Structure 1
Amino acid sequence: MQEGIYVKFITEKGDILIKLTHDKTPATVGNFVALAEGTQKNNRKPLGEPYYNGLKFHRVIPDFMIQGGCPLGTGTGSPGYQFDDEFHPELKHDRPGVLSMANAGPGTNGSQFFITHVPTPWLDNKHTVFGHVIEGQDVVDAIKQNDLMRELQIIRVGEAAQKWDAVTAFEKFNAEKAQRIEAERRKAEEILKNETIGFDKTESGLFYKIEQKGNGKQVQAGKTVRVHYTGMLLDKTTIFDSSYKTQINLLNL
């Protein structure tokens, strides 16, 4: 095997060998490896006891994915904490055998994960990819709901992999959360500044720009008027509301 960090799933149907992307998603891999090795504090098992051993694949959707890592076996369990997404531009759901974090929305990662049967590109930037199958995709495809993960073995190949500390990588990521939030805030402010050049601002903080003045009857304060609008995100493609669409739907009733 090439240098790196791997996990071997020993299951009822056979073994699955996955190479983990600790170089690109160190926190996500750190959490997974630390849980697998029993070095990550959680509210389900004591330190020293491997978290994943004996759990089952509680959710299997044919031609989509297999999901595991829930301590309750229902999809509702967690290790007692959550952590942020860790997307990487080079890691996509672009093939069978992608290992990715299951979540209930942004920033809700815990211990649950899934492995894909097929490419699932609609999950990009919604679920953190942190590994891919290099041996045993046929086993992934053969797994049925409630099959057991008898044991997860972490395999470290090479000096760098041997020295890599999973707990430290995970804790560092969590400690930097405030910095990431501040960086996102500054980025949003810069985008808003650039997008509102030439706009006027009301006392309430609303930015507006009159692109073409009309010459019709003036609107009087306090009067009810009807206007059309389109609400769009700053990407200028995602429309979240539109009076035009509402009007069309009403006409088609």
Structure 2
Amino acid sequence: MKKIAIACLFLVSTFANAQPLVAVIETERGVMKAELNDRAAPSTVANFVNLALRGFYDGLSFHRVERNFMAQGGDPRADGTGGPGYQFAGELLLKHNRQGVLSMANSGPGTDGSQFFITHLATPHLDGKHSVFGRVTEGLPVVLQIRRRDKIQSITIQGDPSELFRRRERQLAEWNAVLDQQFPSLRAAFSPQ
């Protein structure tokens, strides 16, 4: 029993000390950093990180911005109808309980793709409908300054997604096959170390 308790403590301390993945979102208005929650939303974070590493978001715009609500981007068509060419089911564990929540836009269950939004304030009416997968930890004022058609210059990822990508290997392979076909100019897919 003592060995099991020690093993559990080791695992808890290992996960507690693991560095979170952080998205650095560079826009025309400034830079935001968002901590990503791959424990509560592993598929959503794997998707977002994969798209960011491949350069999918670079140069796209925030096509929908509503004051006192949110800023939405990640649509290659810039009209709210575009995506990466695939869809997946949301992970609805976390809440839209503050300013700076990073969440996936969708058109109903099973339609998450590439579009995401960042809240200006708590939006509890979105709970259970959209996948929260992170929160802005630096640059909150930038969220409020974003205007419609402002560009996402780049989204880079701090931290190593290798373990997450290993756990989502089959899903990522399916997504990357679609991306390679529909967006051939994207950077090559990330290979876990």
TM-score interval (norm. to shorter): 0.7 to 0.9
- Asked if 1:63 is matched to 2:61, the reply is no
State how far apart, in whole Å, the 2-side matches of 1:168 and 1:69 are: 24
Residues 170 and 148 from structure 1, CA distance in 2 versus in 1: closer, same or farther, beyond 3 angstroms? Answer: farther
In the TM superposition, 1:130-141 aligns within 5 A as: 130-141=133-144
Match of 1:79 in 2: 84
Match of 1:33 in 2: 49
Amino acid of the residue matched to residue 6 of structure 1? V
Between the two structures, name the one with larger relative contact order (CA 8 Å, sep ≥ 6): 2
Unaligned runs of 5+ in 1: 39-49, 176-253
Q: Would you say how many aligned residue pairs link Structure 1 and Structure 2?
A: 157
State how far apart, in whole Å, the 1-side matches of 2:169 and 2:146 are: 30
Match of 1:154 in 2: 157
State how far apart, in whole Å, the 1-side matches of 2:113 and 2:161 are: 24
Match of 1:111 in 2: 114
State how far apart, in whole Å, the 1-side matches of 2:52 and 2:166 are: 11
SS of structure 2 residue aligned to 1:138: helix
Which deviates more from structure 2 when the two are superposed, residues 56-65 or residues 161-170?
A: 161-170
SS of structure 2 residue aligned to 1:23: coil
Q: Greater helix share, 1 or 2?
A: 2
Per-residue deviation at 1:23?
A: 1.6
Amino acid of the residue matched to residue 15 of structure 1? V
Greater C-alpha Rg: 1
- Is contact 1:100–1:131 with CA below 8 Å preserved after alignment? yes
Residues 24 and 151 from structure 1, CA distance in 2 versus in 1: closer, same or farther, beyond 3 angstroms? Answer: same
Identity of aligned pairs, percent? Answer: 47
Query: For the aligned residues, what is the CA RMSD?
Result: 2.0
Match of 1:10 in 2: 26
TM-score, with normalisation over the residues of structure 1?
0.59
Match of 2:105 in 1: 102
